[in-house]
Amino acid sequence: MDYLQIKRVKSLNGQIKISGAKNASLPLIAMTILAKNNVSIKNLPHVADINTLLKLLSNLGATFNRGDEITTVDTSSLTETKATYDIVKTMRASILVLGPILARFGHCEVSLPGGCAIGQRPIDLHLKALEQMGAKIDIKAGYIEASAPDGLKGCEIIFDKITVTGTANIVMAAALAHGSTTITNAAREPEVVQLCEILNSNGVEIDGIGTAVLTIQGTSGKLIDIEEFSVIPDRIEAGTYLCAGAITRSELTLTSVNAKHLSAVLSKLEEMGSTFTITPDTITIHPSEIIKPVKIVTQEYPAFPTDMQAQFLALATQANGTSIIEERLFENRFMHVSELQRMGADISLNGHVATVNGKSKLSGTDVMATDLRASSALVLAGLVADGTTDVHRIYHLDRGYDSLEKKLQNVGADIIRLKEQQ
Ligand code: EPZ
């Protein structure tokens, strides 16, 4: 196993190119199950989760060709419809194949994904919506057994809670259904928007894209031809590097980024003292010497994203004053707190609310990553901690950050990847 060794440097400087969005790539790869042609995808990030989903599709009989810039996925030879536990347990977003496989083949078995470190992560809303569309859903021996031999039927679906992958799953199921499906309380994340835009421009008529009410006209089982497309930039990767600029007081320029997807994040960084120069595909952060404290509540897009909570909590340890950070989406997304406390941060937890008393002097030590975004929070803390910070279990980080240590080395960070001593 690898770990990252980080030492404090005076400041960072230069440009960081943002990769394609992991959370857009996953539904877009699942979407190829709806295609009759070999689909070309540009700008897929080189991260473990993408490799996992491509492997899952190949286990089902699809073929793919992973290039640096372009990946092609051909599901015409896909025959298997069972997504087994061994692979689903490593990435719960595998649930995204449920809707497309069921819509295309009329039956599908997917291992229950189980929870993960940050929460129980139920999929009840995915299953309830598919049942409303006429599917028979049974849970047997840890597997979801879904069948709709006559195809899925369009209907009115109202999500009790906003669910990102739930919305993506049902949009893809509805794409091949008979008739029209309306999803109310749909997720509006840019990753869901891109999925809808690509389906809409390739023959699946979707109204309300970007709003909380989506209407999808199904093709009644006809597969679609999907033209080449490029994955949108990863707004969470971008937000993470903006926090790196803010916490080290460094002027960094992000390229291949879309600032429109980061409004809530930019607004909170401005509240904490940074200013920005923004062009259509770059963001330059001009950080303040004094970081102001902040109040943050995580909510669904376009509000402040839960996937940036850990990174801002690390940043808040360097603010002059008390910050309040409330996590409203997941029940256990503060595991980075105990590791930051070990580095010297003054943080107290009361249920879903973290109170961060800054400014803390952080000291480097051995810390353990527990989930994807917690990992990046520990890296951010390491950039300003005295001494050496060793971040262990960075397989979490490798799931969602493309070449993080290389990107930070390129702007002057003292960060290297080492092998754990056996
Ligand atoms: C997506 O997860 C992202 N993952 C997560 O990013 C992100 O944190 C999350 O959305 C929220 O923005 C991918 O897109 C692959 P949800 P998802 O369904 O879809 C409850 C990262 O770091 N819920 O929107 O699984 C659920 O418990 C990852 O990149 C139900 O109750 O999240 C949660 O409280 C971490 N029943 C809330 O809804 C359901 O059937 C939002 O979950 C589904 C969800």
- Give the domains, in start order, of the chain with CATH numbers: 2-19+233-419 (3.65.10.10), 22-230 (3.65.10.10)
Atom of ligand 1 nearest to the CA of 189: 12
Give 358's contacts (C-beta < 8 A, 6+ positions apart): 291, 293, 316, 317, 318, 319, 320, 321, 322, 323, 346
Q: Whose CA is nearest to atom 31 of ligand 1?
A: 122
The closest-lying atom of ligand 1 relative to the alpha carbon of residue 121 is 27
249 is in an annotated binding site: no
Specify the pLDDT at position 324.
Answer: 98
Ligand 1, CB cutoff 6 Å, lining residues:
23, 26, 93, 119, 121-126, 161, 163-166, 306-307, 329-330, 372-373, 400
Residue 2 near residue 419 (C-beta atoms within 8 A): yes
Question: What is the Cα–Cα distance from 374 to 355, expressed in whole angstroms?
Answer: 17
329 among the known binding-site residues? yes
Distance 94 CA to ligand 1 centre (A): 13
Residue type, 90: T
Q: Is 116 a catalytic residue?
A: yes
> pLDDT at position 38, please?
97
Separation of CA 308 and ligand 1 centre (Å): 14
Ligand 1 centroid–CA 284 distance in Å is: 30
- Say what the pLDDT of residue 299 is: 98
pLDDT at position 116 is 76
pLDDT at 95: 96
* Angstrom distance (rounded) from CA 420 to CA 297: 37
Distance of CA 322 to the CA centre of its chain: 28
- Residue 80 near residue 61 (C-beta atoms within 8 A): yes
**HSE-CB for 176 with a 13 A CA cutoff:** 27
Q: Specify the ligand 1 atom closest to the Cα of 161.
A: 38
> Which residue among 116, 155, 196, 243 is the active-site one?
116
Q: What is the pLDDT of residue 121?
A: 82
Own/partner contacts of 339-347, CB < 8 Å, gap of 24 or more, are: 339/367, 339/368, 339/370, 339/374, 339/378, 340/313, 340/314, 340/377, 340/378, 340/381, 342/367, 343/367, 343/381, 343/385, 343/389, 344/385, 345/317, 345/381, 346/317, 347/313, 347/317
What is the pLDDT, as a whole number, of residue 209?
98
CA of 414 to the centre of ligand 1 (A): 33
Cis preceding-peptide flag for 45 (omega within 30 of 0): no
Q: Note the helical H segments in 234-344.
A: 235-247, 263-271, 309-316, 335-342
Is 190 annotated as belonging to a binding site? no
Tokens encoding 366: 């051995």
Residue 98: name the closest of 90, 89, 87, 109 by CA: 109
CA distance 272 to 281: 23
| Helix ranges (DSSP H) in 60-141 | 85-88, 98-105, 124-132
Cα 207 to middle of ligand 1, angstroms: 23
CA 236 to ligand 1: nearest atom: 29
C-alpha 376/C-alpha 150 separation (Å) is: 46
Taking only the tens of pLDDT, the chain with its 422 residues reads 999 999 998 899 999 999 999 999 999 999 999 999 999 999 999 999 999 999 999 999 999 999 999 999 999 999 999 999 999 988 989 999 999 999 999 999 999 987 677 887 889 999 999 999 999 999 999 999 999 999 999 999 999 999 999 999 999 999 999 999 999 999 999 999 999 999 999 999 999 999 999 999 999 999 999 999 999 999 999 999 999 999 999 999 999 999 999 999 999 999 999 999 999 999 999 999 999 999 999 999 999 999 999 999 999 999 999 999 999 999 999 999 999 999 999 999 999 999 999 999 999 999 999 999 999 999 999 999 999 999 999 999 999 999 999 999 999 999 999 999 87
Is pTM beyond 0.95? Reply is yes
pLDDT of 319 reads: 98
pLDDT of residue 9: 87
- Is residue 45 annotated as involved in ligand binding? no
The pLDDT assigned to 391 comes to 98
100 is annotated as contributing to ligand binding: no
